[in-house]
Structure 1
């Protein structure tokens, strides 16, 4: 019987020294979010949390994502009318080798985009990943924006 191979030595943040977190202001966090190429929308699906990776844009402090009319997210946002549905949106940029970077979470109300001109503009600006035709959009108005920066 041969012995199992030895595990590779741990590398990364521990080898480079301790890390600490620095709290970001809401303005700093939204600025970083606006420059990110993708994030994750967190919503409720059949009474359980659901998370989907999506691309987004920041428009006057609101997070906009494209979706399709048959999506659970769009149905919930539409069904809750003017109130919208509570969601969270998370994006980050953390280096896999140094473990340095940032992470931002925005929580707020998600509503469908009803204005056809705005929808047309968002469809020109956002390039969704392959899948169903993204003929709808939702806007998230953040009420709570938190973020951290991971520093050495």
Structure 2
């Protein structure tokens, strides 16, 4: 039986891993219940940037606490990493910033994504799961 080693990541290493992927899951409250949506993101100056459309349930999370999670876990070896950030989702209102994010963050669905949200991580937790022969971080 293989033993897996769980190693906590510091904030910088966790955000570096998060910046290396473009897809995660946002957790927010909808009708007083937890809701989760898959969504693509970019990291800008340590903040998670996502786009949304006018009718999205996610828009109810503006100015509230949300969590954002991304991971890269190999289903065969059960090794990889996971990062969770928690913070307040804020609407980006600066027209220049919105234009920039529209350029660098393309939606994966065919909705007109006219909203941009920024999550500044107040809390960052992350870990790697290794088989003991790997380094602390996955190969870059």
TM-score between the two structures when normalised by the length of structure 1 = 0.83
User: Is structure 2 residue 76 aligned with structure 1 residue 91?
Assistant: no
Cα distance, 1:132 vs. partner?
1.9
CA RMSD, aligned part only?
1.0
Larger Rg over CA atoms: 1
Indicate conservation of the 8 Å contact 2:52/2:113, yes or no. yes
SS of 2:81's equivalent in the other structure is strand
Aligned length: 131
Cα distance, 1:63 vs. partner?
0.3
TM-score between the two structures when normalised by the length of structure 2 = 0.90
Indicate conservation of the 8 Å contact 2:30/2:60, yes or no. no
Indicate conservation of the 8 Å contact 2:18/2:70, yes or no. yes
SS of 1:141's equivalent in the other structure is strand
- Flag as ranges the 4+ runs of structure 1 deviating above 6 A: none
Q: Deviations over 1:38-67 (max 9, x none)?
A: 000000011100000011000011000010
Q: Name 1:114's counterpart in structure 2.
A: 93
For 1:66 and 1:151, the matched residues in 2 are separated by 33
Gapped regions of structure 1 (runs ≥ 5):
1-13, 78-83
User: Is structure 2 residue 87 aligned with structure 1 residue 102?
Assistant: no
